[in-house]
Amino acid sequence: MKIIVIGSVAAGTSVAAKARRNTEEAEVIVYDQGKDISYSVCGIPYQIGGEVEELSALTPRNAAWFKKRYNVSVFTEHKVTKVDHANKQLEVTDLVSGEKKLENYDVLVFATGASPFTPPPFNQKEYDNVFQVRNIQDARDIGAYSAKQPKKALIIGAGFIGLEMTEQLIHKGLEVTIVQLEDQVMPPMDADMTFRVEEHMRAKGVNLILSDTVKTIEGETSVERVITTNGITIEPDIVILSAGVRPNTELAKEMGVELGASRAIAVNKKMQTNLPDVYAVGDVAESFSVITGKPIYRPLGSTANKMGRIAGDVITGGDLEHRGVLGTGIFRIFDLHVGQTGLTEKEAKKEGYDVEILYNIKPDHAEYLGGKELTIKALADKETGRILGAQAIGQGGVDKRIDVIATAITFKAKSEDLFHLDLAYAPPFATTKDPILYTGMALDNALKRNPLLTPAELIRRQNSGEKLQIIDTRSKKDYDKSHVKGAIHVPLAELRERNVELDKYVATVTYCNKGVTGNASQNLLLNYGFEKVYNLSGGNKNYQSYLKMLKSKSK
């Protein structure tokens, strides 16, 4: 059997390695039009910023290493230009010599990855100070240009790469401006969470321009000046395009491989396409949601490696299957770690779920050992209690909380199951009631007896004219500093005596600074016979943040 893989980064090399582990009988050949193989795309911003000293650390393996280790022939700077699947033959062009050759195959694997999207008007011509961050050559080019000591950077796009490059260029001393088409950074997340990121970025000196695009460019060989659609003028020394990626499907489409709803190659759980003996893996292939079962496109190195291993196993007689993804991701932006998994609020509602939403604001570990605030937004399905997703922001402990919730979602855990997890505890690492345990407890309570109300829903109800009884249970000092519109002040310590001043039959909302005292007040009123009592999720702190976000987005 002759296996040919097109593409030699994460997915392609994983196919080859797993196939060889399973059998010594197959001939395995890998073609790639680039110069480098099996490199870490995700590490490139950190090498550019200097956290990774040598670029070679991101390219630990080469073609000779693969030949020696796996007896796999890897040909770099070779482009597959045509595929005749009826005769199982492809045409390969040596990009150095220009020579062409024909190659037969029994099994063909597309691991062609994805290419950065070049937004107009940057696609009109070549500029010597405009770069993308997708491969090792991009890192070399940016490194070479850095010798000119640019002072001002313009970054187009505020996704993973855009934010990571922002952090690294600020660390290098550059002034950074981001222009983002959407009205928030990290569009896959909920805006009320990413607003916290935006505030942090601005506090670190980032010039963040949202809901805008570059309209015109001035300069012949270099971008000297850009003017946005909203009339803002920016004069950058270097421009980084990070406006997302598009799967490289052209060759596959030409031979009749079907694409999915996401425009990536459609595959089944065994990474097989609609054509026999043709597979697709990595950033060129579509995945599916663990929760909904629907196709989704989430190009990540971790998923690419997984897909490659599955395809390599199936091709050589194994029975591995892809089990889908949750869209789990994490990034660092200065002092903040930001992670997510599963469905966001907007995604869950679009899918038709009636969700309970919790904002859990707690220290990531014991405060007396330096614990810092961690904010978790978690969702549960009201009908089944199943955890649907979570987003988390903090200075520490984000990764492990997101990973625990991702694991829980994968095994269809309900909110009550989170509370019963036996998690590692010691003061340097967690609190006695870990944020995960509290998330499960509060969501389970909300589903059964103690409903939560988000700031967005509270404001919507107020604006609709609904009669609400809003109780601020904090100190007078905190109330005077800021409070929810229309709230009356009744501290928890006085609520037992003063609840007679309230109407038991009017929908009531209790709140405190972050949620705990509000919940205690909610329980008290429910015990006194109040018909409907909500706790404002995340308390006044979350409410004020939401108001601030609304104000900033309305400018």
496-535 tens-digit pLDDT: 999 999 999 999 999 999 999 999 999 999 999 999 999 9
Q: How far apart are CA 417 and CA 440, in angstroms?
A: 7
**CA-based Rg of the chain, rounded to a whole angstrom?**
27
Q: How confident is the model at residue 392 (pLDDT cuts 50, 70, 90)?
A: very high
HEC per residue, 420-459: CCCCCCCCCCCCCCCHHHHHHHHHHHHHHCCCEECHHHHH
Q: Residue 125 above 80 pLDDT?
A: no
Q: How confident is the model at residue 84 (pLDDT cuts 50, 70, 90)?
A: very high
Q: So what's the pLDDT on residue 285?
A: 98
Q: Give per-residue pLDDT as tens, 308-353.
A: 999 999 999 999 999 999 999 999 999 999 999 999 999 999 999 9
Q: Let me know: does 460 contact 544? Beta carbons within 8 Å.
A: no
Phi/psi at 179 (5° precision):
-115, 120
Identified catalytic residue from 42, 210, 227, 330: 42
SS3 content of the chain, % helix, strand, coil (to 5): 35, 25, 40
Token representation of residue 60: 């630990």
The mean of the pLDDT values for the chain is 96
Letter for the amino acid at 510? Answer: T
Rounded to the nearest 5 degrees, what angle is found at the Cα of 381, between the Cα atoms of 286 and 449? 165
pTM, to two decimals: 0.95
Letter for the amino acid at 83? Answer: V
Q: Give per-residue pLDDT as tens, 159-168.
A: 999 999 999 9
Q: So what's the pLDDT on residue 124?
A: 67
Token representation of residue 517: 């005292």
Q: Give per-residue pLDDT as tens, 38-73.
A: 888 889 999 999 999 899 899 888 899 999 999 999
Q: Is 512 a catalytic residue?
A: no
Residue 93 vs residues 32, 79, 167: alpha-carbon distances, Å:
10, 5, 39
